[in-house]
Amino acid sequence: MVFSSTVFLFLFLPAVLAAYFVIPKKFRAARNMVLLISSLFFYFYGEPKAIVVMLGSITGNWLFALFLDSEKGLQGKSARRFIAALATAFNLAIIGYFKYAGFIAENLNFIFGGRLAVPNIAMPIGISFFTFQGMSYVFDVVRGDVPAQRNILYVATYISLFPQLVAGPIVRYQTIAEALGNRDENLAEITAGIRRFIFGLAKKLLLANPAGALASEIFALPAGSLSSAEVWLAAAAYSLQILFDFSGYSDMAIGLGHVFGFTFEENFNYPYTARSVTDYWRRWHISLSTWFRDYVYIPLGGNRRGLPRQIFNILIVWMLTGLWHGAAWNFVLWGLYFAVLLILEKLFLGKVLQRLPRAVGHAYTLLAVVIGWVFFTAPDFGTAFAWLGAMFVPTAGTAGGAQHALALLYENRFELVLGVLLSMPIAKAISAKFEGKLVYRVARDALCCLLFVLCTARVVSSTFNPFIYFRF
């Protein structure tokens, strides 16, 4: 089940809201139980067998945290280190088996010429998200940031919470720990949450999907037959698709969080306005970047052990970041590509960019990001380099390649122009200037209603509605 489906919008969500809000506020435990049961059903609906994996992750991380609690758990330093290492191994084993077992077997066969059976294991949807949340909970207990939660139902609700279960953002336990037992679902927050959800839904259905359909149509053609114009158009369209898909789902999650009284941190901050790759990664998928910073980069030593060690730490973090997105070498290359750019910016390029006009830094960042997305979406190295070759070595492709690109550009002109405009903080600036005016609030709510109607029409009529988080 995904947010942009009729089942979710017109069956699941209304039923959950009705069951949740019919219970008086004072019965917090009952409302939490509705959330928990709904979240488990949400996951079970799409992954009946994988629910066992998630329940195992919940139970395991709950137990590990109890053992590690600084006040009521194990007191011996060695014992705590052993349990922390065991908890880490437990979580990595889950994600390693389901996500990377086949990838590892293939590469071992290639390196050693072996004949290991390559397992074909169905990967549970959202395994990277709920596993990383379970790990962050245990790590925060180890560090003393939060006490271990004695009630397993609270931990289960945190890890399985359906608004962010299969598409993020990655929510740290300390962010919502207090709200699990004490929160206020007031009318202002609920209406703001509904608006945020609808705007996120519109990003997904009205901007991401059309851009994705355009990119898919071009990238489905033989790589060697594409003209430079076609590949550039496809790469630009895919860049818009992944922005509005990822940020759209984050908006929907944040909005639903507000409806149920939770405050999730922002996950995107207009990343395509960045002036450097460093700035870009402070704005893109913030929850993931923060996770790797807090739980990998800093524990490795961060920038505290000299420049060579810092460079090593950056390479490790970004190799892991690439692998997090998928079990394939193109993701590793994608991660290392950004690692190199980040290292160059730390060494000298960042200072150069600061002295240059803003437009230069912006153009450099967009070019770097678009190249990165080519590696990200390509099925293999050969295809990726064929696309990049067409982008930077002018080629006409097959007969009519440029005309085909122009026809597609014209056909999708409205969505593409709107996508470019909304990737900039124009709406944010308008909101900041007119927020207190009645006419603005009326227009905003009217737009929200219109967008929901358009989204409903798109959900009913369109057959192209990809869920790109299957690999995560």
Between CA 91 and CA 299 the distance in angstroms is 18
258 is catalytic: no
Q: What is the DSSP string of 124-172?
A: PTTHHHHHHHHHHHHHHHHTTSSPPPS-HHHHHHHHH-GGGTTT-----
Eight-class DSSP state of 121:
P
* Cα atoms in the 13 Å half-sphere on the side-chain side of 290: 15
Rounded-to-integer distance, Cα 213 and Cα 466, Å: 9
Cis upstream peptide for 147 (omega within 30°): no
Cα angle 422, 195, 19 (rounded to 5 degrees) comes to 145
The CA–CA distances, whole Å, from 445 to 206, 234, 240, 448, 455 equal 18, 34, 25, 5, 15
* CA–CA gap between residue 127 and residue 250 (Å, rounded): 17
| Helix or strand (DSSP H, E) at 430 | helix 426-434
Residue type, 176: I
**338, 365 contact by CB (below 8 A):** no
Catalytic residue among 285, 325, 362, 404: 325
CA distance 39 to 52: 14
Task: State how far the Cα of 427 lies from the Cα of 443, in Å rounded to an integer.
Answer: 13
Q: Which residue in 139, 169, 154 sits closest to 65, CA to CA?
A: 139
- SS3 of 301, please? coil
Q: How far apart are CA 373 and CA 396, in angstroms?
A: 22
Judge contact between 373 and 198, C-beta under 8 A: no
Rounded to whole angstroms, the Cα distance separating 206 from 41 reads: 28
Taking residue 368's Cβ as centre, other Cβ atoms within 10 Å add up to: 16
Q: Cite the active site residues.
A: 325
